Amino acid sequence: MRRNLDRRVVVTGVGLVTPLGTGVEKNWAGLVAGRSGIGLIDRFDVADYPTRIAGEVRDFNPLDWIEKKDVRKMDLFIQYAMSAAEQAMRQSGFKITEDNADQVGVLVGVGIGGLVTIEENHLIFLDSRLKRLTPFFIPKLISNLAPGQISIRYGARGANLATTSACASGSHAVGEAFRMIRAGYLDAAITGGAEAAISSLGIGGFVAMRALSTRNDNPEAASRPFDRDRDGFVMAEGAAALILEARDLAIARGATILAEIAGYACNADAFHITSPAPDGVGAAKCMRLCLDDGDLDLNQVDYINAHGTSTPQGDIAESQAIKRAFGEHAARVAVSSTKSMTGHTLGAAGAIESVFTVLAVANGMIPPTINYEKPDPECDLDYVPNHARPKKIRLALNNSFGFGGTNTTVAFRPAVQD
């Protein structure tokens, strides 16, 4: 039952697993230093692939986060999600009890799910038919077992679901969790996104689309959003988690508030299965809807964590969308793409970048767009090139867009204890 239609919602804990490392401290240090997490793929043979680079997570040990008997029940994307959730829960100090469990939800965005598990078990099936298939095959691969496993671990009995909307999946999860808490359906949520689709078939599928960078001779410079010489995105993997709480309840328990979610919107281009709408019309409308949702002043927006994938058309469309949404103020907004450092984590991207935006707001520091060397006349905004920038941020937006024309924007502002 709804109890309140206008509660404020805050972030009290975050967790990260990305190509920059496992843990928030590693990631933030990497972002501020402008470090790339992109390298040559070493998990499978890519000798005959035109793209041989990706953002692999190289320091992750599932046994640091999950009991050995449970690891075999989880595809890698679920393992990443479990790690991020545990990090966020530890930081927040939030406890799920018998008294509050029904009001705590788990919403996690997943774009593809257990592709590696599907590939591995298909080969087993072809070799032995039904004889060697594991009973964990389906539970390992389906998207909703990321929130499902998190819910089981912590005993959260509220809304439990996976949002699947391509590269906007993680942002949709964060935004919908925010809406549920604001409207009183939940008091708190573990939310975020997860993806681990770096596989022979996953890379192969995007190669077939000609969507990936082929800058194999210089992997760290391959993801270069808004740069004139960008040639496609770099596929990556990872997860992020955020603990969201009703602000009054977080304050009552003495929680440290990292940032407040100030607004959220989602919409659709209704245009094309992969290409954005011309001139960024849908994305521009989404940003304006987000500001309207929170009754926010566009002139207060100091930073946009851009979707910025490093694709030729996508970066132009987003730049045009920002100018369409903000008018003259667009020239005064700092815009950066942290995908220049992490690569594109697909369904996890919106959640990872939500955490990056929270950290930017909390620390007064805007992460850079690295590898920005040659300006593109069609991308003419302030992309915070190559070096982090100290800045007190009044209001920040995180944009995420996905195949099928799906758009999301989430707004964050500093924690205020009034």
| pLDDT of 23 higher than 50 | yes
pLDDT tens per residue across span 336-382: 999 999 999 999 999 999 999 999 999 999 999 999 999 999 999 99
What mean pLDDT comes out for the span 31-35? 98
pLDDT tens per residue across span 143-173: 999 999 999 999 999 999 999 999 999 999 9
What is the per-residue pLDDT for 278? 83
What mean pLDDT comes out for the span 38-47? 96
Tell me the pLDDT of the chain averaged across its residues.
96
What is the per-residue pLDDT for 418? 57
CB contact at 8 A, 243 and 226: no
β-bridge partners, 7: none
Question: 18 is written with which tokens?
Answer: 């990305």
Q: Quick one: 179 and 240 in the same domain?
A: yes
> Could you tell me the residue range of the domain that residue 386 belongs to?
264-414
pLDDT tens per residue across span 215-251: 999 999 999 999 999 999 999 999 999 999 999 999 9
The answer to whether residue 277 is domain-embedded is yes
What mean pLDDT comes out for the span 28-32? 98
What is the per-residue pLDDT for 1? 45
What is the per-residue pLDDT for 63? 98
CATH at residue 226: 3.40.47.10
The answer to whether residue 218 is domain-embedded is yes
Give the number of domains in the chain: 2
Q: Known catalytic residues?
A: 167, 307, 344
Spell out the SS3 assignment of 25-66: HHHHHHHHHCCCCCEECCCCCCCCCCCCEEECCCCCCHHHCC
Question: Measured between alpha carbons, how far is 23 from 86 in angstroms, rounded to an integer?
Answer: 10
β-bridge partners, 329: none
Does the model's pTM come out above 0.85?
Answer: yes
What mean pLDDT comes out for the span 389-404? 98
Which residues make Cβ contacts (< 8 Å) with residue 317, sequence separation at least 6? Answer: 276, 277, 278, 279, 280, 283
Q: Quick one: 235 and 313 in the same domain?
A: no
The answer to whether residue 61 is domain-embedded is yes
Q: Which residue, of 252, 283, 317, is where some domain finishes? A: 252
The answer to whether residue 1 is domain-embedded is no
Q: Quick one: 103 and 231 in the same domain?
A: yes
pLDDT tens per residue across span 244-301: 999 999 999 999 999 999 999 999 999 999 999 988 999 999 999 999 999 999 999 9
Q: Quick one: 286 and 243 in the same domain?
A: no
Q: Quick one: 70 and 132 in the same domain?
A: yes
Question: Measured between alpha carbons, how far is 99 from 345 in angstroms, rounded to an integer?
Answer: 36
Q: Quick one: 81 and 115 in the same domain?
A: yes
Share of the chain above pLDDT 70, in %: 98
Q: Quick one: 222 and 333 in the same domain?
A: no
DSSP 12: E
